Amino acid sequence: MRAKTGLYISLTLLCAAAVLVVGFLFFRLGRMNAGEEEEERTYDRYYAVICDDPKTSFWQNIYQGASQAAEEKNACVELFGANLSSEYTTEQLMKIAISSGVDGIMVLGSGQKEMTDLIDKADAKGIPVVTMYTDNSESKRCSFVGVSSFSIGNEYGKQILSAKKEKLRLQYGEDAPRAAVEEETSVAVFFDESKLMYDQNAILAGIFDSLKREAPDESFSVRPFSVDDSSPFSVEECFRDVFMEADIPDILVCLSELDTTCAYQAMIDQNMVGSVYILGYYDSEKILNAISRNVVFSSLAVDTGELGRYGVEALDEYITSGNTSQFFSADVTIIDRNNVADFLKREDPAGE
C-alpha cells in the first residue's frame, strides 16, 4: 500500500514538473519566434500578463494597452497562454513566468493561498508583481491596478434606478402612480465564484449607498447570487435556472462579460425581453449590439487600455525607484442607448 502511495505521489510530481517544463519551452520558443519576426530587437525589460482566459476581448485589450505603454519604455509585454495549444491555469502560468525570470508580472489577483504564495515567491526572486482587476492584498504585490468596487456598486445603483424609471415609464407613461413607484423592485447581483468576498461586499455596499441616497422612499430587494464561472456552460445553466424560477428578478446585474452575454441569451431564449432588465459589464461588440437592440439596458465599461498602461507604469516605477502607488484606478463609463452608437462607431470606424 505504501509502495502504491509513493508511486502515485511520484507520478503526480512528475506530471507537475512536465507541465512546467513544457510551458517553459513554449514560452522560450515564443520569445525566439517573436525575436525573429522583430529582427531580434533587444528590450530593456520583459513583462508578463497573466489571467484566467487570455483569449477574451477584455484581456486582449488590457494587453494592447500594456504593449503600447511598454513600447514607449523599450519594454516587451507577453500575454501568457494566448498562443499555447494547451490550457494552463493562472497558477501554472505564474510558475512558468517565475521560472523564466521575467522582469515583472501583471496578474489577475485572487484570494487563493496558492496565488498569494506565488506572488510572494516572485517577490523573493526580485520579480515585482502588480495585481490586475482583482486584488490580493495579503500578498507582497507592489501595486493593484483596477477600479474601486464601491464606486462600481454606486454606478450600478444609479443604473438600477434608471432601469426602474424606464420600466415604469413604459407601463404608465410619465406619471406613474405612487403605489407603483413604491412597489418593491427585486434585483439579483451575480458574482463569479472566483471573485474575492470583500469585493462583493464593497460592490453591494456601493449599490445600497446609491439607492438610499437617490431614492430613500423606494423599496428594493437586492440579493447576491454566486455563478460557477469554471466554464461557459455552467454560466449558461445558471441563468437558465434563474429564468425558470417562480419569482424572476426585475433587474439582473452582471459583473463580467461572460455573465452578461449568457444572461441576455437566456432572456431571449425564455422570451423575457422587456420583462427583465439586464445591467451588464464591458463593451464587447456583442454587448454593444445587445444595448442597441434594447436587449441589454446598459453596461459598465472599464477602460481596459488604461488598466494595461497603468500596470506597465507601476512595474516600471517600482523597478526604477523601488516604490510605486499602492492603487491605480482606471476610468469607468456607463453605456446605454443614448451613447451606444458612439461606441459602435469606434468598433467599426468605417461604418461597415
Q: What is the pLDDT along the chain (352 residues), one digit of tens a residue?
A: 444 444 444 444 445 444 444 454 444 444 444 444 445 678 999 999 999 889 888 899 999 999 999 999 999 999 998 887 778 899 999 999 999 999 999 999 887 899 999 999 999 999 999 999 888 889 999 999 999 889 999 999 999 999 999 999 999 998 999 999 999 999 999 998 766 666 889 999 999 999 999 999 999 999 999 998 778 889 999 999 999 888 999 999 999 889 999 999 999 999 999 899 999 999 999 999 999 999 999 999 999 999 999 999 999 999 999 999 999 999 899 999 999 999 998 766 555 4
My answer on whether 153 and 242 are in the same domain is yes
Residue 270 lies in a domain: yes
Structural domains of the chain, count: 2
Query: Are 212 and 176 in contact, with CB atoms under 8 Å apart?
Result: no
Query: Are 218 and 180 in contact, with CB atoms under 8 Å apart?
Result: no
What is the C-alpha separation between 303 and 122, in angstroms, rounded? 28
Residue 341 lies in a domain: no
Residue 199 lies in a domain: yes
My answer on whether 185 and 254 are in the same domain is yes
My answer on whether 282 and 309 are in the same domain is no
74: containing domain: 2-141+304-330
The pLDDT assigned to 40 comes to 67
My answer on whether 294 and 317 are in the same domain is no
Residue 116 lies in a domain: yes
The pLDDT assigned to 41 comes to 75
Residue 233: all three cell numbers together: 456552460
Residue 320 lies in a domain: yes
What's the predicted TM-score (pTM) here? Answer: 0.80
Residue 29: how many other CB atoms lie within 10 Å: 11
My answer on whether 163 and 120 are in the same domain is no
My answer on whether 42 and 31 are in the same domain is yes
My answer on whether 216 and 237 are in the same domain is yes
My answer on whether 91 and 27 are in the same domain is yes
Question: What CATH code is carried by the domain that includes residue 248?
Answer: 3.40.50.2300
Distances (CA, A) of 92 to 9, 60, 115, 149, 247: 19, 20, 10, 27, 42
My answer on whether 166 and 245 are in the same domain is yes
My answer on whether 201 and 110 are in the same domain is no
My answer on whether 117 and 220 are in the same domain is no
My answer on whether 158 and 282 are in the same domain is yes
